[in-house]
Amino acid sequence: MFKMKPVMAAAAFVIFPCIAGAAQGVDQAQVKFSQVAALDGPAAALGQGMRLGILAAFEEANDNGGVHGRQIVLESFDDGYEPDRSVTHVKSLISGNNHLGFIGAVGTPTSAATQPIATAAGMPFIGPFTGAGFLRDAELDNVFNVRASYFAETEAWIEYLVDRQGMASIALLYQDDSFGRVGLAGVTAALEKRGMTLAAEGTYTRNTLAVKRALLEIRKAKPEAVVMVGAYKPVAEFIRLSRKLKFSPAFVNISFVGSEALARELGTDGEGVIISQVVPFPWDTSVPVVAAYQAALAAVAKDANPGFVTLEGYLTGRLAIEALEAAGPQLTREGFLTALNGLRSVGFGGVMMQFGPGDNQGMDNVFLTRITKDGGFEPVE
């Protein structure tokens, strides 16, 4: 288990109401952001990973004097990947007015519940860990996405499985909520484009491991591949049970699953499992921003291993820092939003984010990786 620097560890999980602070989270010495995300439960590795990556970016900037003389602070609030808890935190944080904006939310159902509240309040909503299409609505001038959409990921799956591997029978396991249904829509659209339909589908309930019924239903169809839209613990349970039942199609997962967490959960059962990714390979230090990320990660958590989730968090933090720089020393929430909306081509040393009128998504890249025998990852050529 990694260890954070003491100053960070002390604030690792903030789950109490906001305390008094500077209006809009800004004073002469610091600027505060809030993260509402899963820090506990079956999706905890995602919220914790995003938090650690954002902290790495913020502390990197802080160690170099901050932004316009201000230190950047992140306070995280646990919603357990449950929309009702997320809404409670978001409303409390907005009424407290002690944070400049939200950053690093995790999940489609939680974002679907909280984004409209943040938008109505004029609160920045930066780098949610979800590829849901509704967050890419051109009318949302407070939402700024880092990653590619789920439709792009599901199209990449089907292009690989059908167009390149020649498979004719694809089944789907998905979480029975707005997240899973976005994946269902993406897979269905990609198959329909090729004159195909799903061979079978199965669902499970969010924050449970109840996947056995779905497995038995899907297995009846004898698909060549099962594509999966879910969190790492139930997905791992599905794959483990499949292995025990000698059911061995190709397993393909969405980036939200949390690649490193899934590989850890699966152990030796993970070999060959495919996961789509939306950020660069976190171990490729020939990419300058990846080298910077690795150094920043080691500085805040010396035992932490690089990974896709923390790299996405780091890039999200860097995006917020870019807008803080552009907003200037007289920082206000309105000025920060104006700066975010003014971003166009943002380069981070080998990674380019492109924004523009009607385009609030920075990156469009999707590539496939495979879990190796030793629990690592390799690109799928």
Q: What token pair was written down for 229?
A: 């839209």
| Same structural domain, 289 and 144 | yes
pLDDT one-digit tens code per residue, 17-52: 333 447 999 999 999 999 999 999 989 999 999 999
Same domain, 141 and 11: yes
DSSP classification of residue 202: E
- The answer on 159 and 133 residing in a single domain is no
Residue 376 placed within a domain: no
252 and 171 share a domain? yes
User: Residue 20: which CATH number?
Assistant: 3.40.50.2300
Strand 170-175 to strand 225-229: parallel, antiparallel, or no bridges (unpaired)? parallel
Quote the tokens at residue 166: 């020649």
Residue range 311-343, pLDDT digits in tens: 999 999 999 999 999 999 999 999 999 999 999
Identify whether residues 143 and 288 lie together within a single domain: yes
pLDDT tens, position by position, 363-381: 999 999 999 999 999 999 8
Whether residues 130 and 34 fall in one domain = yes
How many domains does the chain fold into?
A: 2
For residues 48 and 76, the answer to whether their CB atoms sit within 8 Å is no
Q: How many Cα atoms within 13 Å fall on the side-chain side of residue 249? A: 27
Tens of pLDDT, residues 233-251: 999 999 999 999 999 999 9
Q: Are residues 123 and 37 in the same domain?
A: yes
Question: What are the beta bridge partners of residue 277?
Answer: 367
Give the residue numbers spanning the domain of 73: 6-148+284-354
Range 163-175 average pLDDT: 98
Backbone region of residue 74 per phi and psi (left: phi > 0; alpha: psi in -120 to 50; beta: other values): beta
Amino acid at 323: A
Looking at residue 8, what is its pLDDT?
38
Q: Quick one: pLDDT at residue 381? A: 81
